[in-house]
Amino acid sequence: MPVQGPAVALERIIDLSVREIQAKSILIKRKYIDSWFVSRYGMNLYRGCLHNCTYCDGRAEGYYVEGEFGQDVCVKLNAPQILRRELDPARRRKPLKGGYFFLGGGVGDSYQSLEETYNLSRQALELMAEFGYPVQILTKSTLVRRDLDLLERINRQSRALVCCSISSVEERISRIYEPGVPSPAERLETLKCFKARGIPCGLFLLPVIPFVTDTEELIEEALQAAADAGVDYLIFGGMTLKEGRQASYFLRHLARHHPQFLGEYRKIYRGDRWGRATGEYYRRLNERFRRVARKHNLPLRMPPELFGDLLDEKDRVVVMLDQMDYLFHLRGKASAYGSAARAVAGLGKPIRDQLRRGSPLPGINGRARALIEEILETGSAEQYEQLLRN
């Protein structure tokens, strides 16, 4: 059906196609806890995204978003009914596990303009409030402010966390590469507004666009803006560029606006299956980021005070080990904590029982084992806290 909602700018209606569909399920369940979002459950209420960021990997063939990405969106009209069935503890054989329920990212922003018409994210939040689940939102839209009242209520009951992503604080670059979203300054203002109401916030400096927004100066400006906004933590990351729809769309924009970098892109994106740039590029990028991040005192992953009470002890250990692995990696150092995190995640029996037996645990070396024991005893670990706070 053509979009007639008041939320969509008139000049864009001509090109848009919005399909209302009936979904069979909404909750996306992960087998193991994810340490970036501290979450096992996510949802895409919309499939496709009118924000149309030029670098969006939702455009890649592997995500199976039908039609023209940025113009065609499927709206899961029955999402609130399905979600009620999936969330209601009275209808479940087993309770849902701890951690944030994640709204955002993936193949469509939950607060893209269609949300003004369909209210699916608001209805999802109402269910979270009703059933007492913790929620995390990641968006590039300021529309999330509409739901401040509800998020305040969820935060009081069970925790809410609001995050925005930016690629830099440069308005001019944002207009080119993120044409459908409010300016970085407006996104940062949105976070300030949640912080002022006592709701924790994170800033995702992600993705930084190689050679365009990955400079030391722009990273410094973004980190300063994050600190000024009072965010609780920062997540940093480079850009992936998968061959096919995603790469050809992005490179067309790059050729138009920054043609001088095309040759550099050919050097760092060499057809990796996951669209990753070369290890050497990421190593240099991480070094640059670390140099800047050292000057600020921001945690570089979600800190334990925002998730410690949501997780059982096994998931808490998995998240902390995995975060440590990232933090070592950021410093250019190898670590065995990532494989230890996966080994703990895969343990069938309670972790304390396994440790009590004293026999070696596959995938967990002596250092990781000592760290796990410290986390179980104290709820955290000294080395972890030091690394997290840079």
- Does 42 sit near ligand SF4 (CB under 6 A)? no
**Among 108, 184, 304, 338, contact with ligand SF4 (rule: CB under 6 A):** 108
- Of 140, 144, 98, 105, the C-alpha closest to 121 is 144
Number of residues that bind ligand SF4 (CB under 6 A): 9
- Measured from the CB of residue 305, what is the shortest distance to ligand SF4 in angstroms? 27
- Does 3 sit near ligand SF4 (CB under 6 A)? no
**How far apart (Å, rounded) are the C-alpha atoms in residues 239 and 254?**
14
Candidate segments 30-38, 44-52, 209-217, 338-346, binder of ligand SF4 by CB under 6 A: 44-52
**How far apart (Å, rounded) are the C-alpha atoms in residues 372 and 387?**
16
- Does 48 sit near ligand SF4 (CB under 6 A)? no
Cβ atoms of residues 41 and 102 within 8 Å: yes
- Does 109 sit near ligand SF4 (CB under 6 A)? yes
Residue 76 DSSP label: E
For residue 75, the surrounding DSSP H or E stretch is: strand 72-76
**CA distance readout (Å), 388 to 211, 287, 320, 334, 376:** 27, 16, 10, 16, 18
Q: Whose Cβ is closer to ligand SF4: residue 26's or residue 340's?
A: 26
- Does 140 sit near ligand SF4 (CB under 6 A)? yes
Candidate segments 53-61, 126-134, 238-246, 325-333, binder of ligand SF4 by CB under 6 A: 53-61
- Does 53 sit near ligand SF4 (CB under 6 A)? yes
**Among 49, 83, 234, 388, contact with ligand SF4 (rule: CB under 6 A):** 49
Binding mask 68-107 for ligand SF4 (x = CB under 6 A): ----------------------------------------
- Measured from the CB of residue 144, what is the shortest distance to ligand SF4 in angstroms? 12
- Does 275 sit near ligand SF4 (CB under 6 A)? no
Cβ atoms of residues 48 and 69 within 8 Å: yes
92 Cβ contact partners less than 8 Å away, ≥ 6 residues apart: none
Q: Whose Cβ is closer to ligand SF4: residue 140's or residue 242's?
A: 140
- Does 56 sit near ligand SF4 (CB under 6 A)? yes
- Does 115 sit near ligand SF4 (CB under 6 A)? no
Six-digit token string for 45: 């209420």
Q: Whose Cβ is closer to ligand SF4: residue 96's or residue 176's?
A: 176
167 Cβ contact partners less than 8 Å away, ≥ 6 residues apart: 55, 173, 174, 177, 178, 184, 205, 206, 207, 208, 209, 213
Burial label for 133, CB within 10 Å (0-12, 13-18, 19+), is buried
- Measured from the CB of residue 109, what is the shortest distance to ligand SF4 in angstroms? 4
**How far apart (Å, rounded) are the C-alpha atoms in residues 304 and 384?**
10
- Does 58 sit near ligand SF4 (CB under 6 A)? yes
- Of 243, 293, 210, 209, the C-alpha closest to 61 is 243
Q: Whose Cβ is closer to ligand SF4: residue 104's or residue 299's?
A: 104
Candidate segments 26-34, 48-56, 317-325, 334-342, binder of ligand SF4 by CB under 6 A: 48-56
Within residues 346-365, the interface with ligand SF4 by CB under 6 A covers none
- Measured from the CB of residue 105, what is the shortest distance to ligand SF4 in angstroms? 6
- Does 242 sit near ligand SF4 (CB under 6 A)? no
**How far apart (Å, rounded) are the C-alpha atoms in residues 65 and 169?**
29
Q: Whose Cβ is closer to ligand SF4: residue 142's or residue 365's?
A: 142
Candidate segments 3-11, 45-53, 83-91, 121-129, binder of ligand SF4 by CB under 6 A: 45-53
- Does 158 sit near ligand SF4 (CB under 6 A)? no
116 Cβ contact partners less than 8 Å away, ≥ 6 residues apart: 5, 6, 7, 143
Strands annotated E in 135-292: 135-139, 160-166, 201-205, 233-236
Pairing of strands 39-43, 160-166: unpaired
Pairing of strands 39-43, 28-34: antiparallel
What is the binding site for ligand SF4 (CB under 6 A)?
49, 51-53, 56, 58, 108-109, 140
